[in-house]
Chain A
Amino acid sequence: MKRAISIFLVLIIMLSLISGCGGSKSEDTQEPSESTKEETSTEEASEKPADLKWDGYELSKGLEGKITFMHWGDDYERQMYADLIEAYEELVPGVEVEQMYTPGDYYTKLQTLAASGTLPDVFWLNEARVKEFSDAGLVADLTDVLEKYPAIAEGMFDGALEYGQADGIQYAIPKDFTSYVMYINVDLFEEAGIPIPTSDWTMDDYIELAEKLTIVENGRTVQYGTAVNNYRADWINFMGNYDAEWFKDGKSNISDPNAIKGLSVPATLVEKGYAPAPGTTGESEDRLFIIGQVAMYPSGRWVVPSFLAECDFEWTAVEFPKGTTRVCPFITANVAISAHTENKEIAANFLSFLMSETGLSYTLASGLSVPLYENLITNKNILGEPAEAFIATSKYIGDKEQIEALATGKWAEYDAIISAELSLVFEGSQTIEEAARNIDKKANETLFND
């Protein structure tokens, strides 16, 4: 009897686990918003005129063959790129593009493919990886591609192409970008009777507003003035806005007084309790803004789809507060072509389609990122809302130190050292000066010791 009961219980649990797993799938298909999104996307794709030409159309005539295209992203992006590929294949009937969607562990897979000599023909490459891949001779020199398809570079923001270069050679093309802005919970500002900051606000204003908008009840913070992430874009922004030379002559230089001044801003916000200590994933900070517990939140464009879908209050975005100057890190994904592809002509043509207005109208559809072309950034059909802060930020996009640090090819390890030391500042066990000293010492002794 006991045995029968145990077996029965196990069966019930197994069934609940199975139905639990299956539940999400059935929800996906039944939930109206999801299915609507999918239908809309398919409809949009079919509505897009297949005869819509782009600058590379003439060169696509006569192309025949198959290429592979690998990218990361969420499920929205997978669908957007599926639609883009479908449109391209309709325009260039002789070509087949195989989509290799890799949602997680992207570089582990890419490196393994590279090591086994089976790199995809076209693939995304983070700006921090361009040097590493070019040094290994894995990415094709795109100089000839830019000559053949001049529209790719025409009208692109100054300096943007540099993020796809290594040793002065163009190995990859930035496909779009995201700048860092300050997201504002308008409702919380109105409740506090505080006007929304204008673009000329400063770091001092930011700290002051964060203090005013922090609410503590019974010793517990129920509303934070702001939240910060321990993420490269955050610290590059804070340091850059004080004109810090945080990477100089091939060496880490976070001990630069201006860098310390910049990094002191988030450290002060956390220390005084106006911002929670940043977690390890950033997900927690995004959530705090979404549930209305944070009034100001610096982040990139990638939060827009979830904010649009989940925030049940009015929100907007303004420029990042000014220090002594203003710079904005360039966060992007580049598109590269394998150096060993047998179909470089097709790969280049596909790349030109991807970078065209037609291509971008597919890939920027969910508002995840910002186009790199001056004529498209003001096109509301392409960029969507919120727009003004991103348009303004595009005027000072790029950071000299970021480019110099990326050029070393050791960014990933340098990034890890900075994050680890800053986490101890946010945790309260060391000062920003100590962290800066430790970062410079570790990085210059182990990474930049040539």
Chain B
Amino acid sequence: MKSATTDISQKKTKGMSLKRKEALTGYLFIAPALISLCVFVIYPVVASFIISGFDWGILSAPKFIGLENYKTLFKDPVFLESLKNTTKWVIIYVPASITVSLIVALAMDMPLRGIGFFRVMFYLPVITPMVVCALLFVWIYNTEFGVLNYVLSLFKIPPVGWLSDKRFSLISIALMSIWKHSGYNMLILLSALQGIPETLYEAAAIDGITPWRKFINIKLPLIMPSMYFVILTSVIDAFQVFTEVFIMTKGGPGYSTHTVSYYLFANAFEYGKMGYACAMAVVMFIIILTVTLIQDRILNKNVQYDI
């Protein structure tokens, strides 16, 4: 009896159990993603928290200053202005972008001839690099020889400083961004719309439902899981707006298009204030996390995952 027990335990130690083997295989498969997540996401996040406590300009030796960067941050008028602009951007961009995406998705869901062509057309800006799109719109918006002001001139409307007038600059960038990004959300919503079983529409048709009721009572509730994802990711993206601002206005005129990400970049790489920039990153992290949790609380209640 004794020897039999020893045999079993020896077998266990010699070879791995099937469960363990499977687990190891699984870990090996996710290892590349896990390693890159740790190196490129988790490490920088943790490092940002640590660096935010230092006075460090990349080139100089870091000096620990505790919460001093945070104290300065909330007294810095440019940061507060940037925070205001970022909030304004989220409020303008997110609802407008999702509304456009939803309208286009509904249109693209119609059984029309050549619909594939239009789907490709609406998705095309998504695969075009942001730098290209932003530069294109810099010229479209150009006060002197932009095509937009040329069209306005045909109606005797004086030229508008789309990017050089602080009343229009943020909205002008938002319009470009909506054009650029709405195709992505459109695709997600479209796939959700196409996943709705035809039988529900047939049953509704027998009941004589109007198109509006069909949208409100069938389509919208059934695409809510996708809508939830779209809202969540759009808000997170919007808080981090950078490239379009960097290319189109460099934060100007004045500070009218300064966003937190742009000001963060300027501090880190142009003014050599890496510690201060990291403090901004931490504040943004907390803001985005809070907003996401609030959204999750509100939206998740209204999401129906099963038909």
Instruction: For chain A, give the interface size range.
Output: 35 or more
A276→B143 contact, CB < 8 A: yes
**Given A5-B116, A107-B270, A138-B59, CB of A220 within 8 Å of CB of B159:** yes
Which residues of chain A have C-beta atoms less than 8 A from B248's C-beta? Answer: 280
Set of chain B residues within 8 Å of A90, measured between Cβ atoms: none
Task: Specify which of B76, B117, B144 is in contact with A284 (CB 8 Å cutoff).
Answer: B144
**Chain A residues numbered 1-20 whose CB sits less than 8 Å from any CB in chain B:** 2-3, 5-6, 9-10, 13
A276 touches B124 (CB 8 A): no
Contact with A along B65-84 (1 / 0, CB 8 A): 00000000000111000000
Per the bound structure, the CA–CA distance linking A208 and B133 in Å amounts to 40
A205 at interface, CB cutoff 8 A? no
- B44 contacts the other chain (Cβ, under 8 Å)? no
Contact B116 A2 (CB under 8 A): yes
Tell me how far the C-beta of B107 lies from the nearest C-beta in chain A, rounded to whole angstroms: 16
Given the known inter-chain contacts A5-B117, A427-B165, please indicate yes or no for A115 contacting B143, CB distance below 8 A: no
Given A114-B58, A133-B59, A220-B153, CB of A288 within 8 Å of CB of B144: yes
Which chain B residues lie closer than 8 Å to A429 at the CB level?
166, 254
> Which of B60, B78, B158 meets A219, CB within 8 Å?
B158
A136 to B61, CA, bound (A): 8
Q: Measured between C-beta atoms, what is the minimum distance from A271 to chain B in Å?
A: 14
The answer to whether A111 touches B116, judged by C-beta atoms less than 8 angstroms apart, is no
Task: Judge whether B254 and A412 touch: CB under 8 Å.
Answer: no
Contact present for A3 and B116 (CB under 8 Å): yes
Q: Does A98 contact B (CB under 8 A)?
A: no
In the docked arrangement, what's the CA distance between A19 and B251, Å?
A: 35
The binding surface of chain B is classed by DSSP as: loop
Q: Which residues of chain B come closer than 8 Å to A424, judged between CB atoms?
A: 166, 253-254
Q: Is A406 an interface residue when CB atoms closer than 8 A count as contact?
A: no
CA distance A107 to B117 in the complex (A): 44
Report chain B residues within 8 Å CB of A115: 58-59
Bound complex: CA A219 to CA B158 (Å): 8
Q: How far is the CA of A280 from the CA of B159 in the complex (A)?
A: 17
By a CB distance below 8 angstroms, the chain A residues around B115 are 2
B269 touching A420, Cβ below 8 Å: no
Q: Is A426 an interface residue (CB 8 A)?
A: yes
Nearest Cβ in chain A — how far from B58, in angstroms? Answer: 5
Contact of B271 among A9, A108, A220, A413 (CB under 8 A): A413
Known contacts A276-B143, A277-B143, A280-B164, A132 near B249 by CB under 8 Å? no
Q: How distant is B54 from chain A, measured CB to nearest CB, in Å?
A: 14
Asked if A375 is an interface residue, CB under 8 A from chain B, the answer is no
CA distance A277 to B138 in the complex (A): 15
User: Counting CB contacts under 8 A, is B1 at the interface?
Assistant: no
The yes or no answer to A385 lying at the interface (CB within 8 A) is no
Interface centre among A138, A278, A279, A419 (most CB of B within 10 A): A279
CA distance A133 to B58 in the complex (A): 11
Contact yes or no, B269 A277, CB < 8 A? no
**Pairwise interchain contact A412-B166, C-beta atoms closer than 8 A:** no
The total of chain B residues at the interface (CB under 8 A) is 41
Instruction: Check A427 against B254 for contact (C-beta < 8 Å).
Output: yes
Docked pose: A287 CA to B138 CA in angstroms: 13
A293 to B143, CA, bound (A): 14
Q: Which of B125-175 contact A (CB under 8 A)?
A: 138, 142-145, 153, 156, 158-159, 161, 163-166
Q: In whole angstroms, how far apart are the Cα atoms of A448 and B158 in the complex?
A: 43
A312 to B96, CA, bound (A): 45
Report the nearest B residue to A429, measured CB to CB. B166
Q: Which residue of chain A has the shortest Cβ distance to B142 in the bound complex?
A: A284
- Chain A proximity of B134: nearest CB distance (Å): 11
Q: Are A279 and B143 in contact (CB under 8 A)?
A: yes
Which residues of the other chain, B, contact A10 by a CB distance below 8 angstroms? 120
Q: Of the candidates B114, B164, B251, which one forms a contact with A277 in the assembled complex, judged by CB atoms under 8 Å apart? A: B164
Cβ A9 vs Cβ B116 within 8 A: yes
Most chain A beta-carbon neighbours within 10 Å: one of B145, B153, B271: B271
The answer to the question of B225 belonging to the interface, with a C-beta cut-off of 8 Å to chain A, is: no
Kindly supply a per-residue 1/0 record for chain A positions 127-141, scoring 1 wherever the CB is within 8 Å of any chain B CB and 0 otherwise: 000001101101000
Q: Are A6 and B116 in contact (CB under 8 A)?
A: yes
Q: State whether B163 touches A5 (Cβ < 8 A).
A: no
A277 to B251 CA separation, bound complex (whole angstroms): 16
With contacts A115-B59, A423-B252, A427-B166 taken as known, whether A132 is within 8 angstroms of B161 at the C-beta atoms is: no
Q: A5-B117, A10-B120 are in contact. Are A108 and B143 (CB under 8 A)?
A: no
List the B residue with the shortest CB-CB distance to A135.
B60
Cα A416 to Cα B76 in complex, Å, equals 15
> Can you name the residue of chain A whose Cβ is closest to the Cβ of B273?
A413
- For residue B88, CB closer than 8 A to chain A, the reply is no
Interface string of A412-438 (1 = CB under 8 A from B): 110010011101101101000000000
| CB neighbours of A220 from chain B (8 A) | 153, 158-159
B272 lies within 8 A of chain A by Cβ: yes
**Contacts A9-B117, A132-B272 given; does A427 touch B253 at CB 8 Å:** yes
Is there a chain B Cβ closer than 8 Å to A446's Cβ?
Answer: yes
A413 CA to B272 CA in the complex, in Å? 9
Residues of A within 8 A of B76 (CB): 446
Q: A284 to nearest B CB, angstroms?
A: 6
Chain B hits for A427, CB < 8 A = 161, 164-166, 253-254
A268 to chain B, nearest CB (A): 18
Q: What 1/0 mask marks residues of chain B from 208 to 251 whose CB sits below 8 Å from any chain A CB? A: 00000000000000000000000000000000000000001111
Residues on A with C-beta less than 8 A from B153 are 220
When chains A and B are docked, how far (Å) is the Cα of A423 from the Cα of B252? 7
Q: Is B59 within 8 A of A276, CB to CB?
A: no
Q: Which residue of B lies closest to A8 (CB)?
A: B116
Do the beta carbons of B266 and A416 come within 8 Å of each other? yes
B 261-295 binary contact with A (CB < 8 Å = 1; else 0): 00000100111100000000000000000000000
Q: Please, how many angstroms separate the alpha-carbon atoms of A3 and B114 in the complex?
A: 10
Question: Taking A279-B163, A446-B76 as contacts, is the C-beta distance between A416 and B143 under 8 angstroms?
Answer: no
Q: Smallest CB–CB gap between B268 and chain A, Å? A: 9
Chain A residue, CB-CB nearest to B257: A280
Q: Are B254 and A280 in contact (CB under 8 A)?
A: no
By a CB distance below 8 angstroms, the chain A residues around B144 are 276, 284, 288, 293
B50, chain A: closest CB distance, angstroms: 15
Binding site for A on B (CB under 8 A): 57-60, 76-78, 114-117, 119-120, 124, 138, 142-145, 153, 156, 158-159, 161, 163-166, 248-255, 266, 269-272
With A420-B251, A426-B253 given, can you name 12 additional A-B contacts, CB distance below 8 Å?
A: A5-B117, A114-B59, A115-B59, A136-B59, A277-B143, A280-B253, A287-B145, A291-B145, A412-B272, A421-B254, A423-B254, A442-B78
- 6 residue pairs bridging A and B, Cβ less than 8 Å apart: A111-B272, A115-B59, A132-B57, A219-B156, A276-B144, A293-B144
